[in-house]
Structure 1
């Protein structure tokens, strides 16, 4: 069996209206989507139309953003930085109290069978081009009401989610009609990004943290983890995912991470 290639990551500076915000470790794909998604997640913009221009300079390793509105740099730089957990250096400026003001997820336009989530998770894996090439990339995927998948990948799981949110914003997609799938752990900051956009259902191939589950329950978001083969773990019960699998294939997880009961 041949060796896979190494995944790429580059230090890229984000500059907004002439002010450098931070330097991020990013994979150089879909950087316009990442920029839009990150700016939305952090509260710099409310929609894609707030961005006047994005200029990417590969040689300088920078992304220059011109916003249509004024940017109060003094007020911004008094905010505390929080470095995200996991691979790929990430930074967020929203506080843990900011999420209390997030709107609760609107009623989803459709419900999903658990077998459908597993099927789409498998399709997601089979179509993650850069992961298949390197074995070391994270991915985020949206599934629309027709079942069509759109995938974004990056060395960092948060970056991948920002990229897919940016894609959705730039294409004016409605969150109530979408499901988010991710390869990475659903951490508090990851759940916060997804919640701010308004995804009603989030599925992952791995776990969710206790803090993320608490936030998901408060915001009425459905979280399903360990989507692998014919198995899954249900963390919340928002009524958007119907269990149609064998009783011994699905477990409900407590906030402490243990198994509460087999889900029938």
Structure 2
């Protein structure tokens, strides 16, 4: 049901996620402003240093698991023996029953368009070659209900801004809502939670507040989720990859409007548009890209 509680939701009051600083506004008035914290987290796999991510610091274990999973470094059938997080050292170590040998992979890093400078390893595209996403349907009534619920959920974005959110959904119910300074970190946290809890992906929708870039499309596909949606816009390469692999890609979701640039065959238009509140076009364009 749409009003069921989230399994994981943002905690805008959580300690250490924001900081109050003094600022001066356009009128010259001085006052406190809430800003998001940003800190490094170094991820290790079986003793090998893999990457240092800039993150807000919550759910480090899920971030590490999801990053390794989405980069193909945590394979099917591999058992995670333990995850150790040291907040003082700002490291998280994932231990598995497999061997770690990613020297060539680590050399082929690509800096992404993520707001916090994401990292994608150069052979990540290999993971989607021959990938087949599951059949699914996407009801427009679900999309409108999700957008309404997610946009009204208390979040760090509403409190301090400068952050992205990614929400795992099933039909019209948002389940897990993760935030971070980079959209890539937020989606990795969702992937880590799914891997940890052994959650199926074929009946899920992934909603993001950020742009629909190639990285977001690839990560969604690698997670096995057939639908990716956003209030924001698209990149051409993201659309190209989505069409190649059959991912349903829906963007510019504002009020009654949205645009589907891939996988429109999954759409079921069951919503009564007269009952959906709309946004003025001027507002709909603001920040949409």
Which TM-score band applies after superposition, normalised by the shorter structure?
0.7 to 0.9
Aligned to 1:44: 73
Secondary structure, aligned partner of 1:239: helix
Q: CA deviation at 1:116?
A: 2.2
**How many residue pairs were aligned?**
245
1:193 paired to 2:188: no
Q: CA deviation at 1:238?
A: 4.0
Q: 2:265 aligns with which of 218, 236, 239?
A: 239
Instruction: Report Cα offsets for 1:8-32 as digits up to 9, x if no partner.
Output: 1101111121121121101111111
In the superposition, the TM-score normalised over structure 2's length comes to 0.78
Note if contact 2:128-2:222 (Cα within 8 Å) is conserved in structure 1. Answer: no
Over 3 Å counting, the alpha-carbon distance change for 1:162 and 1:96 in structure 2 is: closer
Instruction: Report Cα offsets for 1:182-221 as digits up to 9, x if no partner.
Output: 0011111111000011111110110121111111111111
Instruction: Report Cα offsets for 1:21-62 as digits up to 9, x if no partner.
Output: 121101111111111111110011135963211111111111
In 2, the alpha carbon distance for the partners of 1:201 and 1:178 equals 7
Secondary structure, aligned partner of 2:202: helix
Q: 1:228 aligns with which of 254, 268, 274?
A: 254
In the superposition, the TM-score normalised over structure 1's length comes to 0.85
In 1, the alpha carbon distance for the partners of 2:216 and 2:199 equals 20
1:88 paired to 2:116: yes
Note if contact 1:223-1:234 (Cα within 8 Å) is conserved in structure 2. Answer: yes
1:130 paired to 2:159: no
Aligned to 1:216: 242
Note if contact 2:167-2:178 (Cα within 8 Å) is conserved in structure 1. Answer: yes
Q: CA deviation at 1:4?
A: 4.8
Superposition misfits of 4+ residues, deviation over 4 angstroms: 1-4, 244-247
Q: 1:181 aligns with which of 198, 207, 213?
A: 207
Unaligned runs of 5+ in 2: 1-24, 26-30, 279-289
Instruction: Report Cα offsets for 1:54-92 as digits up to 9, x if no partner.
Output: 111111111112121011144444x41111212113212
Over 3 Å counting, the alpha-carbon distance change for 1:96 and 1:41 in structure 2 is: closer
Over 3 Å counting, the alpha-carbon distance change for 1:45 and 1:138 in structure 2 is: same
In 1, the alpha carbon distance for the partners of 2:194 and 2:102 equals 27
Name whichever of 235-244 and 204-213 sits farther off. 235-244
